[in-house]
């Protein structure tokens, strides 16, 4: 399980670097567009489409970093003061829904692929819209794999002392 943790950590670091490049790209395109509009009184649709493309990638890849750092919004505030057994039940429900979300994101991309692979951007004809939605599948895959790891880790780490204390919450 240790090697899995190292692989996901490296993946998250790569995604973090890509996110910084995406933000820099969006800022650069916006500055370019502002200069173009203000000084030359022109505008290009390609700038809008490129920013939308980069934003979509940024949004879904950002989910990977947030999920890895456990920063996504959850309802743990509702059961944090409950007994350990109740906390464990809600933790498992949360992880099962997270796994379902990850799988739905992958299946949705696969279902949309036939349509999106034949559709292209109006100004970026070389790029099919399947690339636009690819980060959704990547994020879904990461959520599913990370959730399976968390579930296995929680189940395998459980000791008899945890049973006597009433649960597995750390």
The pTM for the full model equals: 0.85
Residue 121 C-beta-side C-alpha neighbours within 13 Å: 19
For residue 170, being part of any structural domain is answered with no
Q: Which domain holds residue 153?
A: 2-165
In a domain, 38, yes or no: yes
CA distances from 11 to 4, 78, 86, 125, 153 (A): 11, 32, 33, 30, 19
pLDDT greater at residue 13 or residue 163: 13
Q: Over the stretch 2-52, which tens digit does the pLDDT of each residue have?
A: 899 999 999 999 999 999 999 999 999 999 999 988 999 888 888 888 999
Q: What does the alpha-carbon distance between residue 140 and residue 99 come to, in Å, rounded to a whole number?
A: 9
Please report which confidence band the pLDDT of residue 78 belongs to, taking 50, 70 and 90 as the band edges. Answer: confident
pLDDT range class, residue 166, cuts 50, 70, 90: very low
Residue 107 has pLDDT above 50, yes or no: yes
H or E element in which residue 152 lies: helix 130-157
The predicted-structure confidence for 47-74, as pLDDT tens digits, reads as follows 888 999 999 999 999 999 999 999 888 7
The percent of residues in the chain predicted with pLDDT above 70, rounded, is 92
Counting the structural domains of the chain, the total is 1
Q: Is residue 140 part of a domain?
A: yes
Q: How far apart are CA 131 and CA 7, in angstroms?
A: 24
Identify the residue with better confidence: 158 or 56.
56
SS3 content of the chain, % helix, strand, coil (to 5): 80, 0, 20
Confirm if 147 and 100 have CB atoms less than 8 A apart: no
């Amino acid at each position: 399980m240790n090697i899995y943790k190292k692989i996901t950590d490296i993946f998250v670091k790569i995604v973090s670097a890509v996110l910084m490049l995406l933000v820099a790209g969006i800022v650069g395109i916006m500055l370019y567009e502002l200069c173009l509009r203000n000084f030359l009184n022109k505008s290009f649709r390609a700038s809008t489409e490129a920013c939308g493309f980069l934003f979509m990638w940024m949004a879904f890849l950002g989910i990977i970093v947030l999920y890895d750092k456990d920063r996504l919004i959850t309802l743990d505030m509702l059961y944090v003061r409950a007994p350990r057994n109740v906390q464990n039940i809600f933790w498992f429900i949360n992880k099962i829904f997270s796994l379902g979300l990850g799988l739905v994101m992958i299946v949705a991309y696969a279902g949309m692929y036939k349509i999106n692979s034949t559709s292209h951007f109006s100004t970026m004809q070389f790029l099919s819209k399947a690339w636009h939605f690819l980060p959704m599948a990547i994020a879904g895959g990461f959520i599913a794999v990370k959730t399976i790891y968390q579930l296995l880790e929680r189940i395998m780490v459980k000791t008899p002392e945890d049973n006597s204390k009433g649960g597995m919450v750390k």
